[in-house]
Structures are given as C-alpha cells and as structure tokens.
Structure 1
Amino acid sequence: MSDPAYLTLERLTLAYGDTVAVKGLDLSIGRGELVALLGPSGCGKTTTMRAIAGLLAPTSGKISLDGADITRVSANKRSVGLVFQSYALFPHLTVYENVAFGLRLKGMRGGDLDARVGAGLRSVGLANLSGRKPGELSGGQQQRVALARSMVMEPKVLLLDEPLSNLDARLRLEMRTELQRVQKETGVTMIFVTHDQVEALALADRIIVMLNGGIEQIGTPEDIYNRPISAFVADFVGFENVFALEGGKLKTTNGPVTLSEPTPSDTAGLAWRPRAVTLGSGPFQGTVRGTSFAGNTREYLLDTALGPIKAEVDAALGAHAMGSTLLFDLPVASAAPLKRFG
C-alpha cells in the first residue's frame, strides 16, 4: 500500500430520509488496495459503497479521491467504476459492444476503441467470446464481462457489490482467483461489498467489518480471523463459543464459571472456535445433542451447564453417540481475548 490516504471518508454521515444508515464514518484506503466491506444486512456497507460511487449524497462529511474532494461530484465524473450484483449487461448487445458501451459514450472510436476493448477482454480471459451475447454466457463469464466493462474505463477505484453471490460454489472459487489476478495485474484500487466472511477472508488485503452504520474492526484477514476485538466480530467469523467475563469468570446463564486457567484481566470476554475446545478430558461435562460428519472432522453440539458448546475433532477418532456424556475443557490459551462485549 503506497498511499494510505488515496481514498478517504471523513466524518461521513449517510441517511435515507430521516433514517441514518451511516454516522460519522472515518476510513482511509490506499492506492492499489483490495478491500472488503464486510457485515450483515443493514450494517451500512452497501450505503457506504453507494456514496463512494456518487449514487447517494452524504448528509455531512467528505469524500476525497487522489487528493481531490469528490463529495459533490456527479457519479459519471468521479472516475469510480461500479460492478453491480446483477451484472446489468445489455442482453441485445454482444460482449464486445457491452464492454465498448461506456467508451463510446466518451467518444472513443476506431482503432483506439478496438485496442482498449481487446485489452479489457484479454485481461479477463474472454477475447475469444467477444461476439457472443450475455444469454450465451455462463454466470462467471457474465461477471467477467461486467468487470471488463468497468476496467476499460480506467477507474481510479472499482467498486463491486456482492460480486460472487450469484455464482455457484465452484464458480465462486474461480472468480475469487480471477478478481485477485485482475486487481494485482492492473493495480486498480478495488473495494467489494460482501456479507460472506469466507469471501472476504479469501480475497481482501484488508477487511472493514461494519455494524450498525459504523466500523467494528479493521484489519488484515489474519487479524480478523485470529484476533477479533469484539463479540460481534468473533461470532461473525466463526468463534461459536463466545462468553463475557465477569470478575475473571465466564458469565453464563447459570452463573459465573471458573476456568481451569487464569483469565486475562484486561478483557471483556473470551471466544473459542469449535476446534479449540478440548473434548474427552477436562473439568466440565456435557451431553451430546447433535453431531455431524464434515469429512476430515466431526462436529458436536453439547448441552452443558455453561450453555451450548460446539466442538470439533478429527473424524478418525471415532464418533460419540447422541445422548452420551463427554468431558471437555475451554483452554484459555486457545481463546481469543475480546476487548468489547455486547
């Protein structure tokens, strides 16, 4: 990241009528970064993207791009590309004409147009399909046409709205690789909106987790995955055993519970992934209420005095029957310490 302030949002407040969707948002994105805005529906991520694109005027605050204030600049003049979730291709136009559409509006013709469109199609691996129409393409190919159409406009920032949500699992994996390749080869600053934490972790250089119109945590995929700072982020990225701490003890519905190891004094809670739960030994016990085979692992849902506990073990260890009682432990060393809870 060569320029940490290539795109900046300063005290940005966004609203729909009297309903405030984003309040006082501060964010800096560097030139050439691939960034994910991650969060559940209604968290403000799509609203923020719309404001960057120029499709929603801020109530207050400032948006700057490459040193220029674009807060009140119209969408077609701020050098920001947008790939919609629905792709929004023209069904009656060929792949070539879809990609060329925006360039034609800017007055480009002849050899310059052919060269720009050809380069765009080659960048997404579709040079041999330029004569086809969208209805003759797969979902992944349509997505790449939409990507090429935005890329040939040479935007300073490219925004993608849930870019992989319309694809099946196999195509999602292929398009992740394709998006990363195109972004790294072109160096375009790319921001994509998603509610899928796996997608964000797999694609982004940096993830902005949003909640209730604000930023809950910013970090690398490794930071978000391994070091969540709040109960919300921990739960969102798969820490399924999340507890508040009270007086150094776990706060449960059945009262405070002392762990087998001392807990950190400066944390509001602890979170364990299912695989971090020690199963078969420990000071606690639970009854197996659910089990599922997941290939190399087996997952268990235990009914315990602490509340429901999810554990994951190597499938080679053999299965425990429904209704059986198992010992378990929650090792403090395997937990993620949380700075905020609630």
Structure 2
Amino acid sequence: MSDTSFLILDKLSLAYGNTVAVKDLDLEIKKGELLALLGPSGCGKTTTMRSIAGLMTPVGGRIRLDGADITRVAANKRAVGLVFQSYALFPHLTVFENVAFGLKLKGMRGTELEAKVSAGLKSVGLAAFADRKTPELSGGQQQRVALARSMVMEPKVLLLDEPLSNLDARLRLEMRTELQRVQKESGVTMIFVTHDQVEALALADRIVVMKNGAIEQIGTPEEIYNHPVSSFVADFVGFENIFAIRDGKLVAGTGEVFLSGKLPEAAGLAWRPRAISLGSGPLKGIVRGVSFAGGTREYVLETPLGIIKAEVDATLLAHALGSDVAFDLPVESAARLKRFG
C-alpha cells in the first residue's frame, strides 16, 4: 500500500445475487488524481463506481478513503459526490435551488448558503443562470449544474458516470476542457466511468481498463495508447490489425504468414492502420475498400491474414478497388502484446 494512496480498493468483490461482477479488485488512487475507469458494457466499471459511492455493498474486500475504512459507511456519510449520467436535476427548481439542495439538507441557510452556491455557480461559469429553471438550459449547462451541486458539498472524491455521453460532439469537446479545469482548480480526486477511449485518453491522468470484472491494464493515456499489454486493450484503443504469434509466424483465424526479420518474444503484435506500409513489401493483398478522409486515404485489404486496414497520406497515388497491392507489417511499428485472447 502506497503512502500517497488516498482511495484504496483492497481485494474488492461485488456481486448481483449469485453473479460475480467484480472479483478481488485492487486499486490505489492518489489524492487529486483524475482517473478513468474504461471498458465495454458489463466489464464492472459502473459497479465499481457504485460501490465507492456507497450504493452497493461489497461481498468481500475493503474500501478505504483518506485513511478511514468506509466499506460499510452509509452513502450520505462518505464525503463522496456522484454526478449521474442523467444529471438527476429537479426541473421545477431554479439552477440556484438545485445547487443549494444538498447544502440545505445539511442545515446551511442565509448568507452562508448564498455565498457557497454563488461561488459554486461561478466555478462552472453559470453565475448568470442562477434564476433559470433547468429545462431552459442546454445539455452542457445542465451537466455543469450537476457538477456544481456535487462540488459545493466539498467531496473528497467526485464520481462521474459517463459524463459526456449525452452531449453532441462540439459540447463534448467543451466539457472535456471544463471538467479538467474544475478538477485541477479544486484539486478534488475525480473518477469517471466511460466506454469511450477518446474521452478517457483526453481527460485522465491514469486509465484503468477493465474486462470481465478485473483490471486488464493500468497506465497513463500515453502508455495505454502506445503500449497495450493485451489484444483486448489493443482492440479497445484502436489497433485494428491484431495478430497472435505462434511458432515464429503471425497467425490469424484465416491464415498465417512469416514476417521478414526476427519476431519479438510476445504473445501477439498489433498495428494501427497508419503503421501499415502500403505500396511496397513482401506481402500481397487485394483492395476491397478505399475511402478518402481528408488528409488521408483509408484502405481495406483482403490478405492471407484476413482483413488488413491501412491508412496513408492522401497525396499518394490511389490504389483502385480490386487491384493487387504490396504491403508490409513493420515489426518495429507494432505494439508487442503480452497476452492474447
């Protein structure tokens, strides 16, 4: 256990009846860290978040926050804030009243309440919207109200459930910046759950990739993006050409090939489309798809290894549909996978 750990999940196990959702999960989170729980539906990330919030009782293990065991502490006594995916705002109340709701339950009134709420609204850029009803706000503004409502309670940890999923592409970009700003200025430890790898890479200090109720990999965005440890993580973060290594050959479900040069000691190799060398090389494929994507051109090749996806500069001469094309899989451009399958 690290001396710098602020939130510790120690052998945490969670279940729905007889169905185990998370098994013996160990995770340490530093104070002031912005952490992402990333993975597909059913991987256990939301279940883990609910247990931290106190909305689900573990069947095994412990949760420690700032030195105290909170495993059996009631949700409203944990100093943990939660921003729901649906925001859970009261439509009949004003923005001010929504943000003030939890503080009033704690007995705060008068000038102290007004100052606290006003400061919270100012921190998320909504001071001018205090008297509006929440249905009059945009999705991004509603999310900032929910964020302010949690932040004014001064939680030790703030949890966000799929925080950007309800927003359009433009608002998602704006709210990424807003979440980072609020988190860094406040210093609150923040954990957000997402299935969107772009969101996790853009926001988090560290990413926890989960699979089947367990941690598959923990690392910085750069480590996860450039050095996935398994075929599962590689696929999840955009490596579209993933192959096993067996008996010195590159193997896929439809075939196998020898690569020039010595293969590294690894369970598999993975290439992003832009790492494929197209137009020259020892391997051959047939162009089955080609798409212009602005600065690049994307190809789908039928090869002895199955489908290969490549991406090249759009200024290069285009290969026609149905044409034969040479290509290479440069080993030095591949991610080396410790686990496959």
TM bucket normalised to smaller: over 0.9
| CA deviation after TM superposition for structure 1 residue 321, in Å | 1.5
* CA contact 1:261–1:331 (8 Å) conserved in 2: no
Q: CA deviation at 1:248?
A: 2.1
Where 2:280 maps in the other structure, the secondary structure is strand
**Which residue of 2 is the match for residue 313 of structure 1?**
312
Gaps of 5+ in 1: none
In structure 2, the partner of 1:339 is: 338
The residue that corresponds to 2:190 in the other structure is: 190
The offset of 1:211, in angstroms, is 0.2
Task: Map 1:10-49 onto structure 2 (within 5 A).
Answer: 10-49=10-49
* 2:248 paired with 1:248: yes
Deviation at 1:306, TM superposition (A): 1.2
**What is aligned with 1:322?**
321
Q: 1:48/1:259 Cα in 2 relative to 1: closer, same or farther (>3 Å)?
A: same
Amino acid of the structure 1 residue aligned with 2:234? A
Question: Secondary structure at the residue paired with 2:315?
Answer: helix
- What is aligned with 2:181? 181
- Cα deviation digits, residues 269-318 of structure 1 (max 9, x gap): 00000000000000011111111222111111100011110000011114
| CA drift at 1:126 | 0.3
Q: How far off its partner does 1:180 sit?
A: 0.1
The offset of 1:124, in angstroms, is 0.3
Per-residue Cα deviation, 1:78-126 (whole angstroms, up to 9, x for no partner): 0000000000000000000000000000000011101110110011000
Letter in 1 for 2:289: G
2-structure distance, mates of 1:3, 1:173:
35
> Would you say the 8 A contact 2:11–2:61 is kept in 1?
yes
- Give the Cα–Cα distance (whole angstroms) in 2 for the partners of residues 278 and 324 of structure 1: 16
Unpaired stretches in structure 2, ≥5 consecutive residues: none
TM-score scaled to structure 2, two decimals? 0.98
Measured after TM superposition, the shift of residue 199 of structure 1 is 0.1
Give the equivalent residue in structure 2 for 1:54.
54
- Asked if the contact 2:256–2:304 (Cα under 8 Å) also holds between the matched residues in 1, the reply is no
Runs (4+) of structure 1 exceeding 6 A deviation are none
Aligned residues: 340
Is contact 2:257–2:304 with CA below 8 Å preserved after alignment? no
CA distance in structure 1 between the aligned counterparts of 2:281 and 2:289, rounded to whole angstroms: 20
What is the TM-score of this pair, normalised by structure 1? 0.98
1:121 equivalent in alignment to 2:121: yes
Displacement, 1:253? 3.3
Separation (CA, whole Å) in 2 of partners of 1:120 and 1:253: 55
Instruction: Name the residue aligned to 2:300.
Output: 301
Q: Name the SS for the 2:5 alignment partner.
A: coil
Q: Which amino acid aligns with 2:157?
A: V
Q: 1 CA distance for matches of 2:248 and 2:110?
A: 72
- TM alignment of 1:232-311, pairs within 5 A: 232-265=232-265, 267-311=266-310
Residues in 1 aligned to 2:202 and 2:48: alpha-carbon distance in whole angstroms: 22
- 14-23 vs 246-255, which moves further: 246-255
Mapping of residues 223-234 of structure 1, within 5 Å: 223-234=223-234
**Secondary structure, counterpart of 2:114 in structure 1:** helix
Asked if residue 64 in structure 1 is aligned to residue 33 in structure 2, the reply is no
Question: Residue 285 of structure 1 aligns to a residue in which SS?
Answer: strand
Partner secondary structure for residue 263 of structure 1:
coil
Tell me how far apart the structure 2 counterparts of residues 190 and 318 of structure 1 sit (CA, whole Å).
Answer: 48
Q: Which amino acid in the other structure matches residue 323 of structure 1?
A: G
Percent sequence identity over aligned pairs? 77
Contact 1:3 1:30 in 2 (8 A): no
Cα distance change, pair 101–3 in 1 and its aligned pair in 2 (3 A): farther
